[in-house]
Amino acid sequence: MSVTFEATLGSIFDRSEGEIGERLDKAKVKVEALQAMDMNRLAFTLTEAVEHVLTPAIDQILSIYDAAINRPLAPNARWEAEIRTRIVKSADTGLTLALGFDAADHVWKRLIIEEAPRLRERLLAHADLHFETLKKQRKAGERRPGPMENAIRAGLFAAGLALGMLVMRLLAG
């Protein structure tokens, strides 16, 4: 199961990294049109392209992770660490592609480099929010008895009450 999960994880992020190149080509056209405008917007357009490709990939791998841990099982810290590592790697790959558009040292390149930690942080926060939600759901599920458990408890109470009443009749009679 672990090998399958890791292979799936790798294939999804590898595909996403390929899609980043395509998305960045489209973004480059936007960037060239915006070059006369604010350099912050240029950097934002490129990092936004990376983020828009990686966010659905992260959502997809998180749903596969949910299925892989099969909810009643405890979250898998090693898989979560692997997901976080791949998110950072894919974000860095996308930003490296964005920086490689032009050999000249443009202002927007420095802005992308400054934006890189924030992009990684946003993408990791997206995954971490999911992991925290899983942990909260698991804790809530542990505290709350299931519907069958409540029925069993009620049945045992009723049986104990009936048994107690029989014992009282036998002792009184």
The pLDDT tens digits of the residues spanning 12-64 come to 888 888 899 888 888 888 877 766 566 777 778 888 899 999 999 999 998 88
Among 50, 59, 57, 60, which residue's Cα sits nearest to residue 26? 50
Q: How many residues are recorded in the chain?
A: 173
Provide the residue range defining the domain that includes 158.
2-172
Question: What contacts 19, CB < 8 A, 6 or more positions away?
Answer: 53
How many CB atoms within 10 Å of residue 135? Answer: 12
Determine the average pLDDT of the residues in 85-96: 92
The number of domains in the chain is 1
Calculate what percentage of the chain has a pLDDT beyond 70.
Answer: 90
- Classify each residue of 23-58 as buried b or exposed e, where b means 16 or more C-beta atoms within 10 Å of its C-beta: bbeebbeebeebeeeeeebbbbbbbbbbbebbeebb
